[in-house]
Amino acid sequence: MKKLCCILLTAALVLSVAACSSQSANGSGEGGSIFTDGTSSADSFSTGNDVSSFEQDESYDEEANIQATSTPEPTEEPTPEPTPIQVTGGSDFSNGKALVTYHNLISDEWKKGIMTTDGKITPVKTEITNTNGNQCGFSEDSGYVDYIIKDNNGFNRDQFILFDSEGNVTYQTPEDSSYEVLVGGDGVYLVRQTVKSMTENEIRLGIIDKNGSWICEPAVENMLTLPSDAQEKYMDGEVFYSYHGEHVFSAYYRTYYNEGFNPADSYTMLYDADSGQHSLFGNINFVDEYNDDDDTYTSYQFSNGETIAKSEGEIYHVQHVESRFSTTMIMTDRPDGDVFYQDGVFFTGKTYGSGRNPLSSTPEGKFYNIDGSVMLDLSQYNLILAYGADNLYRYENGYAAILIFGEDSIHYLGIIDKDGQLVFDPVAVTYTMGTEVGTLSEGMVTFDPKDDGGNLLSVSGDRVKVDSDAVLIFHDGYAWDDQNSCYINTKGEVLEATLAE
């Protein structure tokens, strides 16, 4: 039995050796090895070179292998967070752009920028960061702003930059000069130059364009100055410079009696920036409204070459034709009241006098065409023309807002057309001497309602609720809200401000 088992074992070994010899004879490697180029069979599997062996492995996942061997997709870089800013001041929009002051909360800098109606702000491209000066403006396609520097003697002084609507600085006043940009708009600027030397001590005025080029060189005699025989008398008084649109500037000089604060004689010089022509008018001024908050004046604006001016008990039609100015007295039956002008139509009426209640007295006002003819008699309404309501009574696109004192001793805000008809039932308002009713602008006017409804009224009678008590004046669909330091549209929505990338 043991002999038989040995025989069988020997036969099995012979067969095994024969099988190995046959496999070696059919192998692909040189010398008949089962390894190829020194690579183990395990390495061959991992690189996927032995396809037949893969096909024999039922556990192989072809899709998983493709994913494992393919190049991974590049990951997108995360979108950087926008620079946090806070807008602290803004001008009216003009041609879809406004000049704003903003605070960069990262760098803790205050800068000027040009904002568009989508809320994007393009910084004014200057290295100067303390451009939070008092004087600045923007109109049409350019603007200006002042900033403070220290001169060679260590004193603070104003310096100015001009820039275009893209924020590019187009001109910068020299650091060692005494130039001051007074007012400007539409690409022209009134500049004052103070000249002091051993032989000179005078003020010269000139006009520059947005590139800083002189339209009119600084001079004394042919600029916005008084005649030589009046200079000494009036130069000690106050001088207010204004831009009236259509390249017209003015200087309004006034003095006071020594014994009181009643204004004495005054002069207004009108100047055409394009030609250098100027005209002097005595005791006539072009001031529409005085602003107590910042000691500035709002001036009557030229439109199609004409505007109005006033003096004590007189109203004038002013024309600007071929660089010349002329005035014609307008004859009305009420020349001694306050005058409000816009779009070729003016309103005049007395506010109130001694012993009269400004909250209930009527000015018996009328609207006039610029030639003095009565356009509209509003004597059927008990109108209020006291402080806070003196921004009304101006027509815009065929509509005007008026404040009425009703027979029920309630104040009402109404909208009238050019026929004097109320467009809809007036809205009851809360009105006191401390309440200010807004100006009609782009068909909207703000007010303080007696009910819980909207405080922004449209000429169609619609009301919008705005979370602000500020007087909103709209330009290009947006108004600056100085209470919340933001722009608001006519729907009451806040314009979100971001820096343009």
Q: Which residue has the tokens 């807004």?
A: 438
Q: What is the pLDDT of residues 406-457, one digit of tens each?
A: 889 899 999 999 888 999 999 999 887 767 788 899 999 999 998 988 999 9
pLDDT for position 309: 87
Residue 362 predicted with pLDDT over 70 = no
- Is 391 strand, coil or helix? coil
Among 53-57, 370-374, 468-472, 489-493, name the one with the lowest average pLDDT: 53-57
Count other C-beta atoms under 10 Å from residue 77's C-beta.
6
Over the chain, what is the mean pLDDT? 75
pLDDT band for 41, please (50, 70, 90 cuts).
Answer: very low
Is there a contact between 488 and 468 (Cβ–Cβ < 8 Å)?
A: yes
User: In the β-sheet with 169-172, what is the strand arrangement from edge to edge?
Assistant: 136-139, 142-150, 156-164, 169-172
pLDDT of residue 445: 94
What is the spatial distance between Cα 95 and Cα 176, in angstroms, rounded to a whole number?
A: 35
**Two structure tokens written together for 483:** 């209470």
* Per-residue pLDDT reduced to its tens digit, 128-154: 655 545 567 777 778 877 766 665 666
> How many percent of the chain have pLDDT more than 90?
22
Cite the beta strand spans of 292-449 per DSSP E: 296-299, 306-311, 314-321, 324-330, 338-342, 345-349, 366-369, 374-377, 400-405, 411-416, 427-429, 444-446
Cα distance between the two ends of the chain: 98
Task: Show Cβ contacts of residue 198 under 8 Å, excluding neighbours closer than 6 positions.
Answer: none
pLDDT 10s digits, 309-358: 887 778 889 999 888 899 898 887 765 667 888 888 888 876 554 445 65
Asked whether residue 120 carries a pLDDT value surpassing 90, the answer given is yes
CB 285 within 8 A of CB 310: yes
- Out of 156-165, 330-339, 373-382, 480-489, the most confident range is 480-489
CB–CB of 360/372 below 8 Å?
no
- Binned at pLDDT 50, 70 and 90, residue 46 comes out as very low
